[in-house]
Amino acid sequence: MAEAICLFTKGTIIIKSPKKSPIFLRMIVLVFAMVCGVYICSVCLNQTNFGTTSKLLNVEINKRHCCDYEVDRSQTPYAHYPKPETFSRAECACNPVRYFAIFSMQRSGSGWFETLLNSHTNVSSNGEIFSVKERRNNVTSILTTLDRVYNLDWFTSASKNQCSAAVGFKWMLNQGLMENHKEIVEYFNNRGVSVIFLFRRNLLRRMVSVLANSFDRYAKLLNGTHKSHVHSLEEADTLSRYKPVIDLSSLVTDLKQMDQRVSEALEYFSSTRHIRLYYEDLVKNRTVGCFFTSQGTVDI
Ligand SMILES: *[C@@H]1O[C@H](CO)[C@@H](O)[C@H](O)[C@H]1NC(C)=O
Ligand SMILES: *[C@@H]1O[C@H](CO)[C@@H](O)[C@H](O)[C@H]1NC(C)=O
Ligand SMILES: *[C@@H]1O[C@H](CO)[C@@H](O)[C@H](O)[C@H]1NC(C)=O
Ligand SMILES: *[C@@H]1O[C@H](CO)[C@@H](O)[C@H](O)[C@H]1NC(C)=O
């Protein structure tokens, strides 16, 4: 815009300044030059105000969407304006969208946590999309899948379509996440995706839940259906009647391995923008769920 006006001004100087009524034309040129100067100055000032602290921020300023000005500046790299191929965002085209991924392990409360997120009208967490093997066969198919999810072109029962303000999914550590961590970290940092680590503090309880769940897969205690997540106290009572047997000889090794896997995940993805949550804390204190508005890393 600034350049366009300036070019026009130059053009005016070169083409139109000759003779005729020189003073009048010069005045016009002068006024144009002043307007142009003031405009450039205001643009420069704006950019200086936006800060030069991070490279990401500067890159974002260049790509800045016209309707981006309402967004908190510190959040700029994380506010996106996807243009889905399969539909139009219509009146919500200027609503910024946050990208997130929940990194978790089976039986750690991620199903419950996702239900909480999806109860918000503008949040879409699309479930375990990488439970399907073809989607995580290689890095290419992983990245293609991520592109579709974050471009809002991925449809599940959780999709909120054009008015989504945050979109993501849950990703279990054993679903190609650890093997392809380098490329995924790069993708997340380039695209401004925030990571939510959701683990369970009590790994022994998690182990019991894993054993009970795999038992129920064939025992089908709830009237012949297998349910991974219960929805009432009665269902929970029925399932908890089963007491799994734990192999003591490998217990300590198994728990250590689980713990190590969590530590590895935290280390691999430490350079992403992330928050670390524990199921036990969430159950106790639900105000923690307000992380979407929190800035930076919150560790609890
Ligand atoms: C990656 O996986 C997809 C899906 O399974 C497959 O179609 C594609 O050929 C694979 N690409 C490479 C480079 O192996
Ligand atoms: C949330 O969704 C509603 C419609 O479902 C929309 O009117 C509103 O603008 C959205 N809010 C944000 C912050 O995107
Ligand atoms: C199982 O069947 C019993 C008796 O028919 C019924 O009362 C109960 O609600 C059913 N439970 C589920 C989880 O469908
Ligand atoms: C719940 O968590 C929030 C955010 O971490 C904290 O500010 C608050 O004090 C906690 N409340 C309780 C009762 O622990």
Contact 174, 210 (CB under 8 A): no
What residue has token string 């380098």? Answer: 182
Q: Provide the mean pLDDT of the chain.
A: 81
**Whether the predicted pLDDT of 4 surpasses 50:** no
Contact 97, 152 (CB under 8 A): yes
Task: Tell me the Cα Rg of the chain.
Answer: 27
Structure tokens at 13: 């100087």
Say yes or no: CB of residue 163 within 6 Å of ligand 2.
Answer: yes
Per-residue pLDDT of 226-278, as tens digits, reads 988 888 999 999 998 999 999 999 999 999 999 999 999 999 999 999 999 99
Per-residue pLDDT of 67-111, as tens digits, reads 555 556 666 789 999 999 999 998 999 999 999 999 999 999 999
E strands present in the chain:
98-104, 123-125, 166-168, 170-172, 193-199, 273-278
Whether domain 73-299 has CATH 3.40.50? yes
Length of the chain (residues): 300
Residue 230 has what pLDDT? 87
Q: Which bound ligand lies closest to the C-alpha atom of 142?
A: 1
- Amino acid at the residue 169: F
- Amino acid at the residue 157: S
Residue 159 has what pLDDT? 85
Q: Which bound ligand lies closest to the C-alpha atom of 285?
A: 4
| Cα separation, 182 vs 270, whole angstroms | 11
Please give the C-alpha separations between residue 57 and each of 47, 49, 63, 73, 267, in angstroms, as whole numbers.
Answer: 11, 12, 10, 9, 25
| Cα separation, 64 vs 147, whole angstroms | 20
What is the domain partition of the chain in residue ranges?
73-299
Please name the residues in contact with 280: beta carbons below 8 A apart, sequence gap of 6 or more.
Answer: 200, 201, 202
Helix, strand, or coil here: 202?
A: coil
Residue 154 has what pLDDT? 93
**Closest residue by Cα to residue 126 from 171, 91, 83, 163:** 171
* Distance from residue 223's CA to the centre of ligand 3 (Å): 6
- Confidence tier at 38 by pLDDT (50, 70, 90): low
Please name the residues in contact with 52: beta carbons below 8 A apart, sequence gap of 6 or more.
Answer: 58
| Cα separation, 238 vs 153, whole angstroms | 40
Q: Which bound ligand lies closest to the C-alpha atom of 135?
A: 1
Closest atom of ligand 4 to 290 CA is 4
User: Which string of DSSP letters, residue by residue, matches 45-66?
Assistant: HHHHHT-SS-HHHHHHHHH--G
* Mutation test residue for ligand 3: of 223, 228, 237, the one with most atoms within 8 Å of CB: 223
Structure tokens at 177: 């996440």
Of all protein residues, the one whose alpha carbon is nearest to atom 12 of ligand 1 is: 138
Please give the C-alpha separations between residue 243 and each of 75, 108, 152, 174, in angstroms, as whole numbers.
Answer: 48, 19, 43, 26
